[in-house]
Amino acid sequence: MRRLVLLLVITACSSSAPTTPAAPKPKRAPAEQIETSLVPAVLVRGEEDAIERHTIEERMREYKIPAISIAVFDHYEIVWAKAYGLADVESQTPADEHTTFLAGSISKSVNALGQLTAVSDGLLALDAPINDQLVSWKLPDNDLTRAKPVTLRMLLSHTAGTTVHGFRGYAPGESVPTVPQILDGQAPANSAPIRVDLAPGTTFRYSGGGITISQLALADRAKKPYAEVLDERVLRPLGMTSSTFEQTLSPERLAHAAVGYGRDGKVVEGKRFAYPEMAAAGLWTTASDLARFFLEIAKARAGTSKHIPKALAELMTTKVISMGPDGVGLGVFLLDRNGGKYFGHNGADIGFQADALASLDPACGCGLVYMANSENGLRLAEEVERTIFAAYGWPGAPTPITRVALDAAQRAKFVGRYDTGRAPLEIVERGGKLIIRAPFMDGFELVPTGPDVVVNTSTAEELHLVENGLRVTGSGRPPVSFSPATAEHPLFMLEAGHFDEAVAALRQAKDARASEEGINLFGYGMLASDAAKATEILRLNVVAFPDSANVHDSYGEALATSGKTADAIAEYERVLALLDADPRLSAAERVEFKKHANEMLAKLRSK
């Protein structure tokens, strides 16, 4: 089963703004360049014409993405917006600029602006205890909160120490809980209680749960429904007329709402889930509306917004805490993209994924929004964004690397299998080229740029030879080390056809729980692209860990995807039989697994 993972003192806010020089005329990149020639992760100097380029529509078919919508702004103007594909496959309804999508966690950015306007007005306080501002519910105190109370600033920057990463949402026909029920994990809520278990203000830990506390605080203080408050404070003032936090869509809005699709390309249950956790995940919007939002923050930073004070925008986009090489602001992440500085957020709800970026460089005034009605949406987002960056020449646009020749002895230093702490990897040599691959996958070329450095053409990461293996840098993530594997990984054994040996190795792993989770995630990740291989990988976990409800749940989904209905039913029945005795699961997880198993059994038995 998938586990949600995939992922923040205004002393004075003046509406006055200094004048700035007139911006250069926006560049108009040809749509054809973006639509028909997606830029790969790595360009090799002198080899650009030899690299296969894909169109947007080719990639959409490959990734099983029914529709995407894109909006681009440059030099403080929206210069291009277009949708592709079908908003609803069954009815063959095409997507257009007015099609709305669930924004997922990008909702948190819009929420943050609403919260900060309330702080500016004196309705909320950024650094006062949040319990002093909550009325209808209180965050339970413990030793941690008594030592340092949780504040709104902490909630918006994911530093409050609150639990619950994200939310599944609620399918049509399911009972929808109130916000206090969500916060306490009470039925019909399908998530755990939101509590503090890390010292507030000390550590970044992503928490949709904490954002939901801010939602209730704002609604309590405004004495209005949250969706109405955000409409008044953010959506209407910024001209986001196609957007809403309402979860019961009016007939007019429903006519423009896209249908959500899973990783297998099939429609999600009930077409669209509801998210009463609106601040964390519930915004319905268009790419153009969301572009207006990020554009207005960029304008405010430059002192030219008519709606957002500069001090407020700077507060929102100032680092509160580091997160690897990047930082966390209030409702946004601060990102380094090949040296270009940006702020933004991505999002993922059931059936939908999205991404948004805006430059922190006042000379650029640029950014983009990408939205998809698919759980594969972010697979295409990176390619689309690279191409837009290149077309407009934005800071951080990809630049070609220079290939250097390595002799056989130099190439041999890289060859071998590596322990990554996640999926196993190996580097092999094919026809004089170095290839990096995982089990059951073809792999990607590693281009040498020095005697001890190669670049992964899939991720643009650099792999450096070091004394004890490889050091991997780039792609906006902290450096990691890959050590030479000391034993054959069970997945490589399975790939070679040695099932029993793979089972034995998996059972003997030093950290069996981590190995179980790793195999499960690896197999689940392959389910959309190769159900047969995914099924075999997940069967390995079932045989090695027969008492795990989670692995039986995942194996059942693989069997159902492969059309093996009777076998899938048996697996979900096994899930129900194991739940109470499985020590791996929390009480909240048992509830979630039981619900999912019963839903799948009902669906499979009706066939």
pLDDT score, position 527: 84
Residue-level pLDDT at 476? 66
Higher pLDDT, 400 or 22: 400
Residue 194 is predicted with a pLDDT of 97
What is the spatial distance between Cα 106 and Cα 280, in angstroms, rounded to a whole number?
8
Q: Is residue 15 over pLDDT 80?
A: no
* Alpha carbon distance, N-terminus to C-terminus of the chain: 21
Q: Tokens in use for 442? A: 């073809």
For 60-110, give the secondary structure using H, E and C. Answer: HHHHCCCEEEEEEEECCEEEEEEEEEEEECCCCEECCCCCEEECHHHHHHH
Q: What is the mean pLDDT of residues 361-367?
A: 96
User: What is the pLDDT at residue 355?
Assistant: 98
Contact 305, 315 (CB under 8 A): no
List, for residues 59-76, the tens digit of each pLDDT value: 999 999 999 999 999 999
User: Does pLDDT of 515 surpass 60?
Assistant: yes
Q: What is the token pair recorded at 208? A: 């949709």
Q: What is the pLDDT averaged over residues 504-513?
A: 82
Query: What is the pLDDT, as a whole number, of residue 13?
Result: 32
pLDDT of 340 reads 94
Q: What percentage of the chain exceeds 90 in pLDDT? A: 81
For residues 329-342, give the mean pLDDT.
Answer: 94
Condensed to tens digits (0 to 9), the pLDDT of residues 74-88 reads: 999 999 999 999 999
pLDDT band for position 27 (cuts 50, 70, 90): very low
Indicate the DSSP class of residue 162.
B
Average pLDDT on 563-586 reads 94
- Is residue 21 within 8 A of residue 75, CB to CB? The reply is no
547 near 581, Cβ under 8 Å?
yes
Q: What is the pLDDT of residue 1?
A: 41
Rounded distance between C-alpha atoms, residue 280 and residue 216, angstroms: 11
Q: Do the Cβ atoms of 275 and 169 come closer than 8 Å?
A: yes
pLDDT of residue 526: 87
- For residue 538, give both structure tokens: 């997940």
Q: What is the pLDDT of residue 49?
A: 79
Question: Domains in the chain, please, with CATH?
Answer: 31-392 (3.40.710.10), 408-412+430-482 (no CATH), 490-605 (1.25.40.10)
Tell me the pLDDT tens digit for each residue of 200-237.
Answer: 999 999 999 999 999 999 999 999 999 999 999 999 99
* pLDDT of 359: 98
Q: What digits encode the pLDDT tens for the residues 518-562?
A: 899 999 888 877 889 999 999 999 999 999 999 999 999 999 989
Strands 453-456 and 367-372: unpaired
Q: What is the dihedral of CA 379, 381, 382, 385, to 10 degrees?
A: 170
User: Could you tell me which of 294, 284, 291, 394 has the C-alpha nearest to residue 338?
Assistant: 394
> Average pLDDT, stretch 488-499?
95
When pLDDT is cut at 50, 70 and 90, the band that residue 108 belongs to is very high
Average pLDDT over residues 387-396: 94
User: Is residue 3's pLDDT more than 60?
Assistant: no
Q: Which two tokens stand for residue 549?
A: 């409800």
Whether pLDDT at 7 is above 80: no
Residue 509: pLDDT band with limits 50, 70, 90 = confident
Q: Is the pLDDT of residue 284 over 50?
A: yes
Take residue 119 and report the two structure tokens written for it: 């702080």
Asked whether the beta carbons of 214 and 162 are under 8 A apart, the reply is no
Judged against a pLDDT cut of 90, whether residue 585 lies above it is answered with no
User: Rounded distance, CA 318 to CA 116, Å?
Assistant: 13
Interacting residues of 161 by C-beta distance below 8 A, sequence separation 6+: 144, 150, 154, 196, 197, 198, 199, 200, 201, 202, 203, 205
If pLDDT is split at 50, 70 and 90, which confidence band does 30 have?
low
pLDDT average, residue stretch 93-108: 98
Percent of the chain with pLDDT over 70: 94
pLDDT tens-place string over residues 434-485? 999 999 999 999 999 999 999 999 999 999 999 999 999 986 677 899 999 9
Q: Which is higher by pLDDT, 348 or 599? A: 348
- Across residues 367-373, what is the average pLDDT? 98
289: pLDDT confidence band, cut at 50, 70 and 90? very high
Q: Is the pLDDT of residue 363 over 50?
A: yes
Quick check: 180 pLDDT over 70?
Answer: yes
Computed over every residue of the chain, the mean pLDDT equals 92
